[in-house]
A = this chain, B = another copy of it.
Amino acid sequence: MNSEPIGVFDSGVGGLTVLSALRTTLPHENFLYLGDTARVPYGNKSASTIQRYALEATHYLLKQDIKLLVIGCNTVTAEALATLQAEFPDLPIIGVIEPGALRALQASKTQQIGVLATRATLQSGAYDRTIKQHANDAQVFTYSAPLLVPLAEEGWLSGEVATQTVQKYLQQVLKHSIDCLLLGCTHYPLFVPLIQSLLPEHITLVDSATTTAQATLLQLQKMGLENKQDHHGSMQFYVTDDPLEFSNIGRLFLGQEIFPQTVHLTGLKPF
């Protein structure tokens, strides 16, 4: 059981930053990553569509005997975590929203927290709701930064365009007196060095990739599910459409070559 893999599900490549953090925190675990690239992006789809896709993906990963599921995607976490938990009560499932929200509350002294995310994630209200569930007097300020996703996928993580784009988004952020900025999109951890260099020192930066990896470690320890092997764990990649672009961007996101395999989810038939 303990050597069984951890499933990581995302609509596309963004979850690879979560996988990267998981590999650092849990080097002995085996991972199966599923990117639903035939249907990416999920951000502009309705909640019921996202729930259906997430159920299909989880069924697929369960057939590969995963011991735990990490949802490496803010949109799926916001729209489908509760649905998945109800449908699969025996599978531990970790989303990317609560770990980041809890870490932000720990890091903030003033309880005035900024959240930088995509429009879809902010519209779901999930960060605001989750933060206030744990601290109902917290103030949450949200900012959308949609261009950071394509900038990351273009590989423009520094340089003039990236710097000016981040500066333009941070101008909005700095209008409020926050002392913690939470990155609520799985693409954004790639910009941590740039954002850190442009953010005033009194604002703590929290990203959901490393916090989700930490939450996964705690969950495995709690359930006694850690893999005790002493060699490095493996990674396998499944995508639902042409693997070429995923490989190209994946190399950039993970810093190594990856060789994804195309699979068909139930009811999907992309080819």
A37 to B165, CA, bound (A): 26
A125 CB within 8 Å of chain B: no
Task: Supply 18 further A-B pairs (C-beta < 8 A) apart from A46-B270, A48-B271.
Answer: A37-B44, A38-B45, A39-B39, A41-B41, A44-B241, A44-B242, A45-B241, A46-B241, A146-B150, A146-B154, A147-B147, A147-B150, A147-B156, A147-B161, A161-B161, A161-B164, A161-B168, A164-B164
Could you jot down 29 A-B contacts, CB within 8 Å?
A38-B45, A38-B49, A40-B44, A41-B41, A44-B242, A44-B245, A45-B241, A45-B242, A45-B270, A46-B241, A46-B242, A46-B270, A46-B271, A48-B271, A49-B241, A49-B270, A49-B271, A119-B245, A147-B151, A147-B154, A147-B156, A147-B161, A150-B150, A160-B164, A160-B168, A161-B164, A161-B165, A161-B168, A164-B164
Which residue of B is nearest A242, CB measured? B46
Contact of A149 among B41, B150, B165 (CB under 8 A): B150
- A162, chain B: closest CB distance, angstroms: 9
For A154, list chain B residues within 8 Å (CB). Answer: 146-147
For A156, list chain B residues within 8 Å (CB). Answer: 147
A168 to B161, CA, bound (A): 9
For A119, list chain B residues within 8 Å (CB). Answer: 245
